[in-house]
Amino acid sequence: MKLPRLALMSLVASTLSTATPTDGTVIPLWPEGVPGAKPDLGPEIHEDGRIENISEPTLTYFAPAVDKPNGTAVIISPGGGYVRLSTEREGVQYARWLGTLGITSFVLKNRMKEFGHPAPLQDVLRAVRMVRSRATEFGINPDRIGAMGSSAGGHLTASAGTLFDHPAGKSGDSMDAVNARPDFLILMYPVISMDDPVAHAGSRKYLLGDHPSPELLNLMSLEKQVTAHTPPTLLIHTQEDASVPIENSIRFFQALTKAGVPAEFYAFEHGAHGMGMKAGLGTASDWPRRVEEWLRDRGLIP
């Protein structure tokens, strides 16, 4: 069941602050308690802009860096193979750039290998539900909430775009009534398939375990979960990616095309896996311009 937009705010009023956030505000995803909490995991590990051993998922708010925000929001999922999050390079850096386009951003800190599936899916869908339910507070349009992810974060983002109604992504509380479907996806060199030979073995192991069932492998091979309801998608990948083969993006793009979902795919020659916003990679370094063009063409930025 999906509640009318005007009723969404009442779902979180009792547990969440409604004070206007400032740049860098950290927002707990599960203020009422993390599903399947593991209090004995110990502290998070922060090193070189990366985070490991996450037990308390959060969103970090980044305000638009312009006078007139355009109402579009993006939830960013950093990569890291479901072992760690490359929060600075594939999170904060993206958020600052999106802010220059008038976009409000939220960097997701999600659970990973310490929990396995379905915890990351629950976290990303809770993030979409929370941002949508608090759209007025954040000054955004609840119908223009997208998701962006890199590598394993791309897999998590694509999971949100294909499994937004799946029972595994729900926690059993009132927030499940809020629409969890992102309105658009931006996938950077994403992990997509769990099938050999194109699967990223580490992401598969740390998300699904050493011996996942055929049914679970099929569910999390996201090219097999695309439907006509999957959001419009932009994919960016390179031929030189030796960690996550470009076939992952090719398979997802083909599935989107078959389902009639609007999609664009930039397949660049240069750029190793995890290139982020690195300069000196030929045309691949211009991918932010291609994203800006795509967002503008879709009416998501002026």
User: Which strands, in side-by-side order, build the sheet including 73-77?
Assistant: 26-28, 58-62, 104-109, 73-77, 145-150, 185-188, 233-238, 263-268
> What integer pLDDT is reported at residue 2 of this predicted model?
44
Does pLDDT of 97 surpass 50?
Answer: yes
> What integer pLDDT is reported at residue 59 of this predicted model?
98
Distance CA 125, CA 130 (A): 8
Q: What is the pLDDT of residues 172-193, one digit of tens each?
A: 999 999 999 999 999 999 999 9
Q: Buried b / exposed e across 160-173, counting CB within 10 Å, b at 16+?
A: bbbbbeeeebbbee
> What integer pLDDT is reported at residue 68 of this predicted model?
84
Does pLDDT of 127 surpass 60?
Answer: yes
Q: What is the pLDDT of residues 7-59, one digit of tens each?
A: 444 444 434 445 678 989 999 999 999 999 999 999 999 999 999 999 999 99
Query: Which stretches does DSSP call E strand in the chain?
Result: 26-28, 45-47, 50-52, 58-62, 73-77, 84-85, 104-109, 145-150, 185-188, 233-238, 263-268
Instruction: Single out the residue of 268, 269, 235, 274 nearest to residue 252, CA to CA.
Output: 235
Q: What are the structural domains of the chain?
A: 22-297 (3.40.50.1820)
Percentage of the residues of the chain whose pLDDT score is greater than 90: 90
Confidence of residue 215 (pLDDT cuts 50, 70, 90): very high
Does pLDDT of 66 surpass 90?
Answer: no
DSSP state, 231?
Answer: P
> What integer pLDDT is reported at residue 18 of this predicted model?
52
- For residues 14 and 89, the model is more confident at 89
Average pLDDT, the chain: 93
Does pLDDT of 197 surpass 50?
Answer: yes
Instruction: Single out the residue of 152, 199, 125 nearest to residue 50, CA to CA.
Output: 152
Percent helix, strand and coil across the chain, each to the nearest 5: 35, 15, 50
- For residues 16 and 136, the model is more confident at 136
pTM above 0.95, yes or no: no
Confidence of residue 170 (pLDDT cuts 50, 70, 90): very high
> What integer pLDDT is reported at residue 19 of this predicted model?
64
Confidence of residue 120 (pLDDT cuts 50, 70, 90): very high
> What integer pLDDT is reported at residue 12 of this predicted model?
43
pLDDT (mean) for 111-117:
98
pLDDT (mean) for 156-183:
97
Structure tokens at 291: 């994203």
